[in-house]
Amino acid sequence: MERYFVMKKLFKTSLFVISIFCSNTSMQAHAEKSETYNQLNLFADVFERIRSQYVKEVEDEELIEAAINGMLTSLDPHSNYLNSKKYENMRVQTSGEFGGLGIEVTMDKGVILVVSPMDDTPADRAGIEAGDYITRINGEQINGLTLNEAVEKMRGKVGTDINISIARKDENSLIELTLTRAIIEVNSVRHHIEDEVGYIRISSFTEKATPGLREAISEIKKELGDNMQGIVLDLRNNPGGLLDQAIDVTNVFLDRGEIVSTRNRNDQNIQRYNAQSGDSIDSKPLVVLINGGSASASEIVAGALQDHERAVVLGTKSFGKGSVQTVIPLSIDGAMSLTTAYYFTPSGNSIQGEGILPDVVVEQLSLENKEIVENRRSESSLRGSLANPNTIQPNPAEKSDDLVELDDAGEVIINNSLDEEELEKEEGNDIIQRTTTAQDDYQLNFALNLIRGMAITSNN
């Protein structure tokens, strides 16, 4: 109890100091300050009650860390606290090499939503798809865990197995998978040649994205020479990454003009990022492929190239994450990832919760039976997601979810009982097909034919 009274005394002292400082301010401002410190007193009371009366002993550090993370995660799905270990993991991940399953996730309705698996990783090989919900890890419910806690459970010693339970649209029971953890070396850029068209896929915007892109373009130009008809840039299922890499990748194809702008609260501190002269493919035709797994940095690239009419954007609507997170180091070796701004395309549009609409909408079809094989989840469907700053709309957190619900015990209920009208609305969404050749990828096939047609037109 001694610590409790010390904390109370400190808060009362703070109130006294604040009251002196505010003596020359309005009574309303003083009342607001007092109310704030009353709430801090409440926090101190709850903290001490847990320490002294909870059924089992909990470390002070654990309680405080949980309180900080709860404060951040209540703001939006992308703000969170990183202790020293998680902070280091984040830095390793953005460098392009880390340990785990190879999956980009976010939190939605208390369970883990898969934004996108990464190419040639355990998650990819196991058949995990964008839009899947991970509901259990090694038999333990996800509900009640923070996003960082869930991610931490999916990481572990290389070579060890992990069991996960997945809820998927059109599946009436959970899918049980066993994956083996591996070192995830993200080869974020891959390329090959389809006849006289260069195909380049960027799977994530790590520090290696721009150097990898320039190398891929150089090799394609070296092999095709003047016969190169154009480039297909595949950003499907790319969950994003570093802002500077998105800007640099866009700059590879733009000769001038704004790439993206970021604006914080009340449109203060607007930062604009502009292209430098030089188009690395000499204004050859360019098609950008996107789908519901294309998020954040991918949308910056697609939006800029679309607004400047430098590329034809093809596929289905993107995820719609139009917010910027700043990683702010803290005094105790940790950090917080805080949403600090929205980003806007060159035309001044925010895609937050709305996504990039392609110039040419092409659903991903199965070439064998012509059925649509897509199932998209989007930013606007996430609980607590931010509203688009360009529009007035209800809080997306109020929206219901068609796929998963939680019962009173916190168990996941899979809801596939949609009527025909709802099913029609659900079609045209993106399940990930990690296909990179025109023989089994309908969208890519369409893009290649479009490039060839554009090349013929430009040559006449």
Residues taking part in catalysis = 296, 307, 321
CB within 8 A of 89, min separation 6: which ones?
98, 155
Bridge partners of 107, per DSSP, are 112
- Cα separation, 30 vs 25, in Å, equals 7
Q: In terms of C-beta density within 10 A (0-12 exposed, 13-18 middle, 19 or more buried), how is residue 265 classed?
A: exposed
Best CA proximity match to 154, nearest among 132, 178, 130:
178
Q: Name 116's bridge partners.
A: 104
Other Cβ atoms within 10 Å of 26 Cβ, number: 9
**Which residues touch 330 (CB under 8 Å, ≥6 apart)?**
336
In whole angstroms, what is the distance from residue 301 CA to residue 240 CA? 10
Tokens of 70: 């709860």
Give the Cα separation of 15 and 1 in Å (integer): 21
